[in-house]
Amino acid sequence: MRSDTHSTNPPPQPSHPPQPPRPPALDLETYSEATRRALYDLVVAVHFQAPVETPPGDWYPAYSPDQAGLAVDLSRGRWLASWTRLEEAASDLPEARRQALVRIQADPEAPHGVAFYEV
């Protein structure tokens, strides 16, 4: 006789695929080159690289972060990323509108562990 605690049925499979692993938490309180580089890579991934499946209406630049002059810096205790919006370079918009400037803040709930806020 078989015990009720031993089943030959396989364990149930989850109904949705597992979430990708979360990136390690970054220390955004102090400067380190490793943190700056990790944030640079996150800015590139979020703002310059289109996902495999781009939703309709989303737009990503056709130029590289280097062409746009992407810089990530810690200033007055805040991480900032800036770059030139090359698609606006020839426009008559004010300089402030032709430049992108975002504050980077830790956000454990965000897909990359950080959130970007336009300045």
CA distance 39 to 23: 11
Predicted pLDDT of residue 65? 97
C-alpha dist (Å) from residue 1 to 4, 5, 9, 10, 27? 10, 12, 16, 20, 58
Dist. CA 34–CA 36, nearest whole Å: 6
Indicate whether 50 pLDDT > 90. no
Q: Which residues of 47-82 are buried (b: 16+ CB within 10 A; e: fewer)?
A: bbeeeeeeeeeeeebeeebeebebebebeeeebbbb
Burial of residue 39, with CB atoms counted within 10 A of its CB: 0-12 exposed, 13-18 middle, 19 or more buried = buried
Domain boundaries, the chain: 33-50+63-118
pLDDT mean across residues, the chain? 84
Query: What is the structure's pLDDT at 90?
Result: 84
